Amino acid sequence: MANLSGKVAIVTGAGQGIGRGIALRLAKDGAIVIITDITGKENEVAEEVRRLGGEGLALRLDVTNGEMAEEVARTVFSKYGRIDVLVNNAGIYPFKPFLEMTFEDWYRVINVNLNGVFNVTKAVVPYMVRQRNGRIINIASVAGAVVGFMGLTHYSASKAGIVGFTRALALELTRYGITVNAIAPGAIRTPGVEAGAEEQVKMLVNVIPMGRLGTPEDIASAVAYLASDESSYVTGALIIIDGGWTIT
């Protein structure tokens, strides 16, 4: 367990899946967790955090809305006096062949996955600069950042963009004691994945050297490390967590 006692952490897209796993893990490690989402499930996760004995605050946040992101940041800073950790997790991955993709399809994915990271980071960074300390952790993907996947050109572009954003921002913010890192998950057992055909899940497992899908907890463990003081010399990094999938 990382020691995150008293740290204030904002997690986007935390109502389910990887985001929920991250929020629960940070709470177990002692962080005050702000669970943000637009689904309404953020309230359920905040209640889970409280049942664990932690402090969780649910706030509605549409990451595509920069003004809403700024309001969330103001609310958190006003209540707790600091923002120590930001986990940009919110994202969507609708499969669509490129030849069938509309302008709306493309813009929607880019707006949520990439512009959303910019919006929330832009809202939070001034508070981290003020306190001369902070941890920003962006959830990318092996798609785009490491390999390509058919039917996911928009998603892959957005996730590759997140990696470029991470590396460039890390250079700018290191002087303020802020680290910026990214995690690239492979196939993770989430509600979205489990909703797919059982045969597709079996095919995925067959090509993963470790012989299983990852779990939200696998990603959350890396987030906890990057959020802690133990990672103080790590910035601009991309941690690939895929069970060996992309090295085969």
Q: Is 127 a catalytic residue?
A: no
CB 91 within 8 A of CB 154: no
Q: Which of 127, 155, 176, 233 is catalytic?
A: 155
CB 81: neighbour CB atoms within 10 A?
10
Mapping DSSP onto H, E and C, the string for the chain reads CCCCCCCEEEECCCCCHHHHHHHHHHHHCCCEEEEEECCCCHHHHHHHHHHCCCEEEEEECCCCCHHHHHHHHHHHHHHHCCCCEEEECCCCCCCCCHHHCCHHHHHHHHHHHHHHHHHHHHHHHHHHHHHCCEEEEEECCHHHHCECCCCCHHHHHHHHHHHHHHHHHHHHHHHHCEEEEEEEECCECCHHHHCCCHHHHHHHHHCCCCCCCECHHHHHHHHHHHHCHHHCCCCCCEEEECCCHHHC
Residues forming the active site: 155
